[in-house]
């Protein structure tokens, strides 16, 4: 690991000024990405500014049923927050489906959204990677890419976005609150994550020195009945091959409201808007679920090794929706 400086500050604006003012400055929260990638030489921070004491870590209940989660809240704490469990079970389930107990104790909510991809070629400084070294090529394109993305891919990058949490948040239209030199702003989470396109090195919209301070979950009655289904190569402590965050409201047998997002298959957490549009107003049941899944995955661009994900993701969508509606009178 490159030698680096370190500062632990208790004030967000001071942290922002420090990072923005250093040519290789970066924030340090839980460290599960930053320390890992710095040791691998993938990131080369010259200054790490520890913001664990700076940004908020509470879960605040908002009027009307929403929640505001401090960006320094730990994954483990948010997963067991009674308000999160009751109002947004899909968020709690997604958090508990990710990483391990130790990592969830360390990793912050804000850091989770900024975590880097797990593509083995990105993590290996000896391999071509347009994300790590723009213009160097993509070793994954014709390499070992069984776990890579099939949605949102470009000819520069097919790395899968790794976060489970982000999939749930995208389904729920979460809003990120940030601070940066000169002020703050809000960013809708679906706008926050960027497709690789021709600039795979840019994964999100944060400026240099911009820090997520809170994640707001807008009130959503439909989310009280929500689920996160994660399919993976082993039962625990593994990234998704395909995952689904789903919430649905069925009125008199007809789908009146639905939220669907996919993980493990996209270069960003994938809001399944085609599937949602297909489902609205239809009779809830396997036929409409399968048709919606088919329409969403029709836009997939698989490679030979990960072509199985096209079918797997469709089955996951159907299973998740069946799980949510199995108790309903059809």
Partner 1 sequence: MPTKQANLRLAAYLKGGDMSTDVISQAAVRGPQAGPVMLCVNGQRRDVRIEPRVSLLDALREHLGLTGAKKGCDQGTCGACTVWVGDRRVLACLTLAVSCEGREVTTIEGLAADGSLHPMQAAFIDQDAFQCGYCTPGQIMSAVALLNEGHADDDTEIAEWMSGNICRCAAYPNIRAAIRDVRDAAGGDR
Question: Residue numbers of the site for partner 1 (CB under 8 A)?
Answer: 1-9, 11-14, 16-18, 20-22, 25, 28, 31-32, 35-36, 38-40, 46-48, 50, 52, 76, 99-103, 105-106, 181-182, 235-237
Question: To the nearest whole angstrom, how small is the minimum distance from the Cβ of residue 182 to partner 1?
Answer: 7
Tokens 């809003």 locate to 175
Question: To the nearest whole angstrom, how small is the minimum distance from the Cβ of residue 250 to partner 1?
Answer: 31
Distance, CA of 17 to CA of 103 (rounded, Å): 28
Distance from the first to the final alpha carbon of the chain: 59
Our CB check for partner 1 shows the closer of 41 and 285 to be 41
Distance, CA of 169 to CA of 269 (rounded, Å): 9
The bridge status of strand 67-70 relative to strand 59-61 is antiparallel
Question: To the nearest whole angstrom, how small is the minimum distance from the Cβ of residue 262 to partner 1?
Answer: 23
189: Cβ contacts below 8 Å, ≥ 6 apart:
113, 166, 169, 170, 173, 174, 175, 176, 215, 269
Question: To the nearest whole angstrom, how small is the minimum distance from the Cβ of residue 200 to partner 1?
Answer: 22
Our CB check for partner 1 shows the closer of 6 and 281 to be 6
Our CB check for partner 1 shows the closer of 79 and 151 to be 79
Q: Report DSSP state, residue 221.
A: G
Our CB check for partner 1 shows the closer of 50 and 190 to be 50
26: Cβ contacts below 8 Å, ≥ 6 apart:
19, 34, 43, 45, 47, 48, 49
Question: To the nearest whole angstrom, how small is the minimum distance from the Cβ of residue 201 to partner 1?
Answer: 22
Token code pair at residue 183 = 């002020």
Our CB check for partner 1 shows the closer of 104 and 161 to be 104
């Amino acid at each position: 690991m490159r030698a680096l400086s370190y500062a632990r500050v208790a004030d967000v604006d001071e942290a922002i000024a420090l990072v923005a003012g250093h040519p290789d400055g970066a924030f340090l929260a839980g460290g599960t990405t930053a320390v890992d990638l710095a040791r691998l030489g993938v990131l080369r921070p010259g200054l790490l500014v520890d913001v664990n004491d700076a940004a908020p870590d509470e879960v605040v209940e908002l009027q009307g049923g929403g929640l505001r989660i401090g960006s320094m809240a730990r994954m483990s704490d948010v997963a067991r927050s009674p308000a999160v469990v009751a109002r947004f079970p899909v968020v709690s389930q997604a958090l508990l489906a990710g990483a391990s107990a130790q990592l969830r104790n360390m990793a912050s909510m804000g850091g989770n959204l900024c975590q880097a991809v797990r593509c083995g070629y990105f993590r290996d400084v000896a391999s071509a990677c347009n994300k790590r070294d723009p213009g160097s090529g993509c070793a994954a394109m014709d390499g070992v890419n069984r776990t890579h993305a099939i949605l949102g891919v470009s000819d520069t990058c097919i790395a899968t976005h790794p976060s489970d949490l982000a999939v749930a948040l995208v389904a729920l239209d979460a809003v990120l609150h940030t601070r940066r030199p000169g002020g703050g702003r809000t960013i809708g989470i679906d706008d926050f994550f960027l497709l690789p396109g021709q600039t795979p090195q840019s994964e999100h919209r944060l400026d240099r020195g911009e820090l997520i301070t809170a994640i707001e979950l807008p009130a959503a009655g439909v989310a009280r009945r929500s689920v996160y289904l994660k399919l993976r190569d082993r039962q625990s402590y593994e990234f998704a091959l395909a995952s689904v965050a789903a919430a649905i409201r069925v009125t008199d047998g007809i789908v009146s409201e639905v939220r669907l997002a996919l993980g493990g298959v996209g270069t960003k957490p994938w809001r399944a808007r085609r599937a949602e549009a297909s489902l609205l107003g239809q009779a809830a049941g396997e036929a409409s679920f399968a048709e919606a899944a088919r329409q969403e995955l029709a836009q997939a661009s698989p490679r030979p090794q990960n072509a199985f994900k096209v079918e797997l993701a469709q089955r996951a969508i159907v299973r998740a929706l069946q799980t949510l509606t199995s108790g309903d009178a059809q």
